[in-house]
Structure 1
Amino acid sequence: MPLILKATPSRSGCSRSRRRRTTRTAPGPGPERSAGSPWRDEVDSCLVTSITDPATADFVFCWPLYRRGTDVYVQNAAVFLGELADAFRPTEPWLSVEPRGTVDEDGNEISEWRTTIDEVRAFLSAHP
């Protein structure tokens, strides 16, 4: 099933921030993919879907994006800010996302969907 990301009008740079987070997962082909660059075939990022004031919020809802080769796995997650080892950074929310898991601590399968890097790039091209 393809991932559909909806571009919506945003406040104070949210659109730029969303693009930066998505681009982190889906860089274009070219010299930026050279050895030693940050653009690898395994990259974790996220899109924040809901947050109040980060200074007073207890949690953040987000969609972690886990790129594995040409596949991008998307999950729904709540990040509990009081449980983080380091302060939440709104400009780098992927630093607070757990590594990809497919089974939770109770042995239940974690719901996720798969899309492709080409579909993410198509979204970025359609919503500059």
Structure 2
Amino acid sequence: MSKSEVFSIELDAETLFRDPDSEGPEAVGTIRIGEFTEAFRASLAYWSADDYRRSWRLAYHRLESADDAISCLITSITDPATSNFVFCWPLYREGEQVFVQNSVIFLDELTEAFDPEAPWASVGPRETITEDGDEISEWHTSMDALRAFFRRPAVR
């Protein structure tokens, strides 16, 4: 497997941040796609660290279900009944390639209620250019990289 095909997403629930502006503690997470790495903070006010990890496994299984599938990895969620947005990384599978973008789901813009058990239902089709003609940041990896990561005994 080449460096460009590396993938991981992890959450450190031992190191918590307490931001006075947030609804509760936040865990530190990291996503790695090839040589790209980004840290994120995951709110623990609505979901536990295990809830995030379970959701990521469901997102992976969603991708495995078809050669042309849309899924997403939720990286921060608060109660959808009272929040405005959810942070996520949409995953677009095309054959054995997976395109990954960083996104925010604005809950008040959805035509149907957000379902935390199927967050990919709130992710639109893959776009690579914004309405203003700007390129959307996107990374790519492979299904083999996701398989290697998610087939490990425990996603941390």
TM-score normalised to the size of structure 2?
A: 0.69
**CA displacement at 1:16 relative to structure 2:** 2.0
What 5-or-longer segments of structure 1 have no aligned partner? 28-38
- After TM superposition, the structure 1 = structure 2 runs for residues 1-128 of structure 1, keeping only pairs within 5 Å, are 1=4, 2-6=6-10, 8=12, 10-11=48-49, 13-25=51-63, 27=64, 39-128=65-154
Q: Distance in 2 between matches of 1:3 and 1:113?
A: 11
Bigger relative CO (Cα 8 Å, ≥ 6 apart)? 1
Greater strand percent: which structure? Answer: 2
Give the aligned CA root-mean-square deviation in angstroms: 1.6
Provide the aligned length of Structure 1 versus Structure 2. 116
Q: Distance in 1 between matches of 2:54 and 2:134?
A: 36
TM-score normalised to the size of structure 1?
A: 0.83
Taking every aligned residue pair, what percent have the same amino acid on both sides? 50
Task: Indicate if the aligned counterparts of 1:47 and 1:62 stay in contact, CA closer than 8 A.
Answer: yes
Task: Indicate if the aligned counterparts of 2:88 and 2:103 stay in contact, CA closer than 8 A.
Answer: yes
1:35-72 Cα deviation digits (max 9, x unpaired): xxxx2210000011111111111011100000000000
Q: Distance in 1 between matches of 2:50 and 2:8?
A: 23
Task: Indicate if the aligned counterparts of 1:47 and 1:65 stay in contact, CA closer than 8 A.
Answer: yes
**CA displacement at 1:7 relative to structure 2:** 5.2
